[in-house]
Amino acid sequence: MANYLAQFQSIKSACDHIVIAVEDVSDLWPTVKSGFEERLPFKRACLNNKTRNLVFVENLPAEFILTTDSRLRSRFPQEQLLYWFREPYATVVLVTCEDLDEFKTILKPRLKLIVQNDEREWLIVFVSKAHPSNDQATKMAKKVYAKIEVDFNSKKRERCCKLDLHGPEPSFWEDLESKIMESIRNTLDRRVQFYEDEIRKLSEQRLMPVWNFCNFFILKESMAFIFEMAHLHEDALREYDELELCYLETVNVSGKQREFGGIDHGDDQAALLSPANKALTQIVQDDSFREFEFRQYLFASQSKLLFKLNRPYEVASRGYSFIITFSKSLAKHEFMRLAYLIGYGSAIERSPVNSASLSMLPWPKPSVWPSVPPNASSEVIAKEKLFLQEIPKVKHFGIQRKPLPLEPSVLLREANRRRASLSVGNVSEMFDGSDSDASLRMSPSNKSQVITMSRTNSSPGIFESSIDRPMRLAEIFVASEHALKHTISNPDLWKSLSSVEEFEQKYLDLLKGAADNYHRSWWKRHGVVLDGEIAAVCFKRGNFDLAAKSYEKVCALYSGEGWQDLLAEVLPNLAECQKILNDKAGYLLSCVRLLSLDKGLFSKKERQDFQSEVISLAHSEMQDPVPLDVSSLITFSGNPGPPLELCDGDPGTLSVTVWSGFPDDITLDSLNLSLTATYNADEGAKTLKSSTATVLKPGKNTITVDLPPQKPGSYVLGVLTGHIGLLRFRSHSFSKVGPADSDDFMSYEKPTRPILKVFNPRSLVDLAAAISSPLLINEAQWVGIIVRPVDYSLKGAVLHIDTGPGLKIEESHFIEMESYISVSQSVANLGNRHGSQKDSSLIVNKDFEQLHLNDGKIQLPDWASNVNSILWIPVRALNNNLARGSSSVTPQTQSIVDGMRTIALKLEFGVSHNQIFERTIAVHFTAPFHVSTRVSDKCIDGTILLQVMLHSQVKASLTISDAWLDLQDGFVHTGQGNGRPTSGFFPLVISPTSRAGLLFSIYLEKTPTEVEVEELRPDSILNIQYGISGDRTVGAHTPVTSNSTGTEDAGESLIFRSALVLQRPVLDPSLAVGFLPLPSGGLRVGQLVSMQWRVERLKDFEENEACQSKDEVLYEVNANSDNWMIAGRKRGHISLPTKQGSRIVISILCVPLVAGYVRPPHLDLPDVNEANISSNPPGPHLICVLPPALSSSFCVPA
Amino acid sequence: MIACVAVVGHQNNPLYIQSFTEADDALKLHHIVHCSLDVVDERVNNPKKSGPTLNETFLGLLYPTENYKVYGYLTNTKVKFIIVTTHLDVRDADFFRRFHAAYVDAVSNPFHVPGKKITSTTFAERVSTIVKSFGLSSAG
């Protein structure tokens, strides 16, 4: 049946519409032909589909063909059966007759003959030629037609219709059309039924050996074609679908080796939508079809129907899945990876990218490998030359990378195995069993070895003869090339395959297109990866600029996402481009990036190469320093543990851990570290410099940098900068444990640990006086200064001591220094130590040292660096004034300032004496006693008992061994005494702050001798010989003596002298001054008041002094200016007659300034001896001053 | 068999990648895994309208290729699991669930820094066990 295939195809292509036969019995066709054909195609046909459901078909094409036409004549019945689709679907019998007899005798038998064939669907069209005006003829025609109807219509079916040529017959055409349609429908049903039966029969034999797909195909396609002709495209499509299914089953089920096809010239081009691409007879093979062409044919037929059904979308979707699925089987057989097969694989970079993408593609394994064409030996040699010329590309930096196989690793084996003439797997196995051809071209040594081997195996001379010899790679290539030459019809494709250069161009174009499309569809990784391949080609062609740009994109992607393994593959290429382009900065950066990749990705040697590149570039003659970020390579952090803590103003050294990712030692010409204050952003970063060149070992290094004094605050490490030659590097990467986490794109916000804390200024040391109680004035005394470091070392500290006025250091003595325990501690010790009080130092067994004052300063000993210590300085306060006693009437008014002396201290300490502490210490000096006097009793005989009270002023026991009073003029001791109290009193011990009294018995000298008028002694002097026993840690103590041992004896010999004023009573008053009473209203602040004194002469002025104006008296008003404002003359002369009883009143206007009890102004008469003035009131008195009256002048009534 | 398994972080950075092939083609598999992220991205950004895939972590076949099949799985934290198989179909997410459990255990290690590569040898052993057992079960 397969023999009919050609005929079937030609018939099928010849007819594409339904045929209606016209049996022109009465020679009417020329007359009615135009009328009939006007009806075509049928506007609306009603047909049954395969499932016998009515389907309306629009515009069904058809053709009326006379039965006498050659197309319908001379067909064999067998042919008719087979190609039934082309047989007429209906037969229209055209008759006319104007005479009833003629009908009966001639026409009727003829018609009977025509319609007796039941196979045909027929209908009779009676054409009436009668003119409507001719009644006779019309009647006759009607009669004849009635007769025909009787004879040929049956009950079931009316098969006749009448056409009036001259009369209006509007219903005729519809009648005709429906009758034709009925016939067509019946015919169609019958034929479909027939094919169905046939197909079923054939299907039942499916598994029998006699079964033949071609027969099945013809039947099935015939049926499909019938449907297609009837415009039942749905049914036709279904038939094709079933046919495809059946085909796939037959193709896949049997173990038969079926030819795939697609090896003809032109098969390389897409012909998916053209069913007539290849004649079916060409692709038939035994009992089936070759798959490649046939599936294409089926798909084209299906698509055609789908287009007719106006379903182009379905064409696309079916086409998609068809291509996907078909490409699988296509790939099993089709020649892909053409370039490799003809030996241009060397032009493709053996990168993992290509290996990966090519491993995604299958490679062709035709069942029979094409054999080497004759006379191709020269081509083979040319190919082999190509291999030899191929220089395996060595990566920059001499990186040794195993090139990954692009070619199918078993090409050599497979190709030989599939050769028809070679028995499977013997020689070929021997040939490449030892060394798979994947490694054939990997290393030069391997390659040459194999090549020479193949050369010895087969010289071109024996090439033709030895058919069983396995093909060599070059031969395989040549064979493939020839085979492809037969197949490929596309001239462009062939051109691309014609030479390596053309191929490379094609490869580049394809890459670019693919990359663009990937980028457009947001498959950026695919796109970028292909960019890398484009770069490889660009690089090869010397277009380094473009190559570098593309490589940069690839590197950015890989490093951005942290695919280091892949980055390690591309980065050397980029580096090479940059080196060629003389992009030093870029090249350096690439080297650094290479170095900062995972260590495992490169060998040590390679990494060392990277480093040497960096260093040689850094020291080469670059014009400008190149900035470079080495954050991934050099990282740093502070040392673990608490941050370095410094006091304000202190310098220090900062220790920083730096990790170097370089494989070898690297010398940094300079290294700077910046510090950033954490809470003080406006301060900016401070830079610390390491002056000397630093050599970083691989791994962890500890470097120290000098730290100048910083402002208070907390500091973190900022950036690390430095120079290597002209390379200015910079790293801002912290690391916790090491430089391992160089995938910095993931770097978290690392908690920046402060590395340095500079404290706010605080007192680092305290200098204080050890005692607060006064020391002895005019004697050498120890002044204690407590030096108290406050958590700060005083190592090397220098103390400047500068005494103020009235104080000098006893330089003949050493300054003593001893350790000191704070008061609270020492109190406890005090009790225990009471027995051994003689020892002057508080702490016995502690450090003690004598220091020498040098140029006003001393250096503190080291032991005193961190402990409290006390410094004893021997000083002497000088005061030339004699101590003055006071009377009990006028209380002690001694100013404390008199005994105050200051010592200015300046302590320089800190690491570089940068810290300075200054303090002025006040030291209080005093006389041992304060003396006050009182007349305790006035005896009748004029003896006055003068009580002298001694107030101890110091915190020390004073022992009085002797005391005597040198009296002033006008007073004498009673008896013959030498002015000493009873000696039995002595020694008199006075405890600290207690008082003692001495009693002297004196009397007034009645007649002062003229000799003594010189007034040598205006004051009485009290002399006290005393000793002191005190502790220098408490207060006054035994004076420092030159021989410091004999303190006891020396203490006895101290002399205290105090002046006492003894006032003689007013014995002969010559003047009286009386303070006149004040106004009764009292005094108010701010109120003017008149103070009045009355001066009266008590006796006649008889003095013989040289006074020019004896009747004038000098007066003076004294008042405390704080309390009083005085208006008027404070001092002046008043005239007072010398006669006894003369009197005068002095009045002064005063304004009291403060309220309270104040002393009023006091009138003095300076020219008159106090002894001659009798005052009333006799002593100082107070008056009351009221506060100012409220002023209401500003109160405005409401 | 399974040629390669990989864990890829939510920033598309490799966290763990291990190939199980004899040949020295780990880099090739790196490429395949890396490029398959494009497909994952596309799936994630253009989710299928069909409902059941809404919460589905198993992404199914990513690459319809010949030599290798690439399957993907996406966790809630946008960590991707990719496996590359040769001639082996992964029909359900069972393998991935076990893989996921192993991953969760590995990153629960307090010494693991999130976002960094997984260096745990225990994890590696566990993964290879899963891979081996999967190869066996599907072969059987």
Q: Is A471 exposed, middle or buried (0-12, 13-18, 19+ CB in 10 A)?
A: buried
Question: Do residue A746 and residue B13 have CB atoms under 8 angstroms apart?
Answer: yes
- A 10 A CB-CB count for A1020 gives 24
Per DSSP, the three-state class of A947 is: strand
Distance CA A1126, CA A1147 (A): 11
pLDDT tens-place string over residues A369-380: 677 777 777 777
* Helical axes A377-389 vs A473-487, angle rounded to 10°: 120
Predicted pLDDT at A742: 42
- Among B13, B38, B66, the residue with its CB nearest the CB of A524 is B38
Query: Residue B49 pLDDT > 60, yes or no?
Result: no
> Which of A258-262, A360-364, A511-515, A810-814 is modeled with the greatest confidence?
A511-515
Residue A339, pLDDT score: 52
CA A127 to chain CA centroid, Å, is 99
Q: Give B68's contacts in chain A (Cβ within 8 Å).
A: 359-360
ipTM: 0.89
Higher pLDDT, A896 or A58: A58
- Long-range contacts of A304-312, Cβ-Cβ distance < 8 Å, separation of 24 or more: A304/A273, A304/A275, A305/A228, A305/A233, A305/A236, A305/A237, A305/A240, A306/A237, A308/A233, A309/A233, A309/A234, A309/A237
Question: Who's near A252: CB < 8 A, 6+ residues apart?
Answer: none
**Sheet holding A122-128: strands in order across?**
A62-66, A18-24, A90-95, A122-128, A160-164
Give the least confident one: A350-354, A731-735, B80-84. A350-354
Instruction: Report how far apart, in Å, the C-alpha atoms of B107 and of each of A697, A751, B30, B73, B121 are.
Output: 34, 21, 22, 17, 12
Strand residues in A589-734 grouped as ranges (E): 626-629, 634-638, 644-646, 652-660, 666-668, 670-677, 685-690, 694-696, 699-707, 713-724, 727-731
> What is the model's pLDDT at position B66?
59
pLDDT tens per residue across span A473-505: 777 777 777 777 776 677 777 777 777 777 778
Q: How confident is the model at residue A837 (pLDDT cuts 50, 70, 90)?
A: very low
Question: How much is the pLDDT for B125?
Answer: 92
If you average pLDDT over each of A13-22, A1169-1178, A1189-1198, B122-131, which comes out highest?
A: B122-131
User: A800 or A749: which carries more pLDDT confidence?
Assistant: A800
Nearest CA in chain B to A526: B35
User: Above 60 in pLDDT, residue A1107?
Assistant: no
Dist CA A1159 CA A1083 (whole Å): 13
pLDDT at A870: 87
pLDDT in tens, B34-46: 888 888 888 877 7
Q: What is the pLDDT of residue A718?
A: 78
Nearest CA to A206 out of A244, A238, A247, A258 is that of A247
Give one DSSP letter per residue of A1102-1156, joined into a string.
Answer: ---S--S-TTEEEEEEE--TTTEEEES-SEEEEE--SSTT-EEEEEEEEEE-S-E
Percentage of residues of chain A with pLDDT beyond 90: 0
Query: Cβ contact (<8 Å) for A566 and B116?
Result: no
Q: How far apart are CA A659 and CA A352, in angstroms?
A: 33
The alpha carbons of chain A give a radius of gyration, in whole angstroms, of 69
The pLDDT tens digits of the residues spanning A661-700 come to 888 888 888 888 888 777 665 556 677 777 677 888 888 8
Q: Which residue of B has its CA nearest to A530?
A: B35
The answer to whether the CB of A872 falls within 8 A of the CB of A799 is no
- With a cut of 50, say whether residue A1164 has pLDDT above it: yes
Q: Which residues contact A912 (CB under 8 A, 6 or more apart)?
A: A651
- The DSSP symbol for A814 reads P
Reported in sequence order, the residue ranges of A746-855 that DSSP labels E, i.e. its strands, are 756-758, 765-769, 775-776, 780-789, 798-803, 807-809, 815-819, 848-851
Q: Nearest-CA distance from A555 to chain B in Å? A: 13
- Tokens 């790293």, residue? A731
Q: What is the DSSP letter of A259?
A: -
Angstrom CA distances, A910 to A820, A957, A1163, stand at 21, 42, 64
Q: Do A352 and B30 touch (CB under 8 A)?
A: yes
Q: What is the C-alpha to C-alpha distance for residues A70 and A87, in angstroms, rounded to an integer? A: 13
Flag the least confident range among A88-97, A270-279, A415-424, B102-111.
A415-424
pLDDT at A956: 85
Query: H helices within A562-674, ranges in order?
Result: 564-580, 584-596, 604-618
- Judge residue A264's burial from the number of C-beta atoms within 10 Å of its C-beta, 0-12 exposed, 13-18 middle, 19 or more buried: middle
To the nearest whole Å, the CA of B6 is away from the closest chain A CA by 12
Q: How many of the other CB atoms lie within 10 Å of CB of A85?
A: 24
Long-range contacts of B9-12 (CB under 8 A, 24+ apart): B9/A562, B9/B79, B9/B115, B10/B77, B10/B78, B10/B79, B11/A561, B11/A562, B11/A745, B11/A746, B11/B115, B12/A561, B12/B37, B12/B80
Q: What is the pLDDT of residues A604-613, one digit of tens each?
A: 888 888 888 8
Q: What is the pLDDT of residue A1175?
A: 79
Asked if A1133 contacts A1115 with a C-beta cutoff of 8 angstroms, the reply is yes
Cβ <8 Å between A360 and B68: yes
The position carrying tokens 């300063």 is A857
Q: By the 8 A CB rule, do A47 and A53 touch?
A: no
| Lowest-confidence pick of A427-431, A991-995, A1141-1145, B87-91 | A427-431
- Which range, of A316-325, A476-485, A1063-1072, A1081-1090, averages the lowest pLDDT? A1063-1072
For A907, the token pair is 């302590």
Residue A420 has pLDDT above 70, yes or no: no
Band the pLDDT of A464: cuts 50, 70, 90.
very low
To the nearest whole angstrom, how far is the Cα of B124 from the nearest Cα of chain A?
18
What pLDDT does A217 receive? 83
Q: Among A39-53, A195-209, A262-276, A508-522, which stretch is predicted with the lowest mean pLDDT?
A: A262-276
Contacting residues of A for B28, CB less than 8 Å apart: 352, 355-356, 359, 404
Report how far apart, in Å, the C-alpha atoms of A336 and of each of A332, A340, A341, A886, A1170 are. 9, 9, 8, 132, 144
Cβ of B119 under 8 Å from any chain A Cβ? no
Residues A522, B66: C-beta atoms closer than 8 Å: no
Backbone angles phi, psi at A526, to 5 degrees: -60, -45
pLDDT digits (tens, 9 = 90+) for A615-626: 888 888 767 777
Q: How many CA atoms lie within 13 A of A579 on its CB side?
A: 17
Residues of B in contact with A563 (CB under 8 A): 13-14, 30, 34
**Å between B8 CA and nearest CA of chain A:** 10
Q: A981 versus A247: which is more confidently predicted? A: A247
Contact at CB, A569 and B27, closer than 8 angstroms = yes
Q: Which residue of B has its CA nearest to A357?
A: B32
B39 to chain A nearest CA, in Å? 7
Average pLDDT over residues A863-888: 80
The number of beta carbons lying within 10 Å of the beta carbon of residue A603 is 14
Residue range A220-229: mean pLDDT, rounded: 85
Q: What global pTM score does this model have? A: 0.54
Shortest alpha-carbon distance between residue B29 and chain A (Å): 7
The answer on pLDDT for B8 being more than 80 is yes
Is B124 an interface residue toward A (CB < 8 Å)?
Answer: no
Question: Does A936 or A1148 have the greater pLDDT score?
Answer: A1148
Residues of A with CB under 8 A from a CB of B: 324, 328, 331, 352-353, 355-357, 359-362, 402, 404, 518, 522-526, 529, 561-563, 565-566, 569, 741, 743, 745-746, 748
Among A1130, A1092, A1116, A1120, smallest CA distance to A1168 is for A1116
Q: How far apart are the C-alpha atoms of A1048 and A1038, rounded to whole Å?
A: 8
Q: What angle do CA A199, A202, A208 make, to 5 degrees?
A: 160
pLDDT in tens, A552-585: 988 988 888 888 888 888 888 888 898 888 888 8
Collapsed DSSP state (helix, strand, coil) of residue B14: strand
From the CA of A451, how many Å to the nearest CA of chain B? Answer: 24
How does residue A132 score in pLDDT terms, banded at 50, 70 and 90? confident
Q: Who has greater pLDDT, A1146 or A480? A: A1146
Region A691-716 average pLDDT: 81
Q: Comparing A216 with B124, which gets the higher pLDDT? A: B124
Confidence tier at A444 by pLDDT (50, 70, 90): very low
pLDDT score at B7: 92
Q: Smallest Cβ distance to B66: which of A361, A743, A748?
A: A361
Q: A279 vs A137, A276, A329, A779, CA distance in Å?
A: 59, 6, 22, 142
Q: For B38, which residue in chain A has the nearest alpha carbon?
A: A523
Order of strands across the sheet that contains A1156-1158: A1083-1084, A1183-1186, A1156-1158
Q: Write down the pLDDT at residue A1008.
A: 52
Please state, in angstroms and rounded to a whole number, the distance separating the CA atoms of residues A570 and A516. Answer: 20
CA–CA dist A364, A414 (Å, integer): 10
A898 or A152, which is more confident = A152
Binning pLDDT at 50, 70 and 90, where does residue A750 land?
low
B8, B30, B33, B68, best to mutate vs chain A, most A CBs in 10 Å: B30
Summarize the confidence of residues A288-293 as an average pLDDT.
75
Nearest neighbour of A566 by CB, restricted to B11, B34, B65 = B34
To which H or E segment does residue A554 belong?
A: helix A544-561
SS3 state at A505: helix
Look over chain A and give the mean of its residue pLDDT values, rounded to a whole number. Answer: 75
CA distance A629 to chain B (A): 22
A1045-1074 mean pLDDT? 68
CB contact at 8 A, A955 and A1034 = yes
**Section A131-138 average pLDDT:** 79
More confident residue, A1145 or A87: A1145
Higher-pLDDT residue of A196 and A746 is A196
The whole-number pLDDT of residue A523 equals 85
Cβ-nearest to B27 among A324, A360, A565:
A565
Distance between CA atoms of residues A1168 and A318, nearest Å: 147
A34: CB partners within 8 A, 6+ apart: none
Contacting residues of A for B17, CB less than 8 Å apart: 565
Return the higher-pLDDT residue of A232 and A270. A232
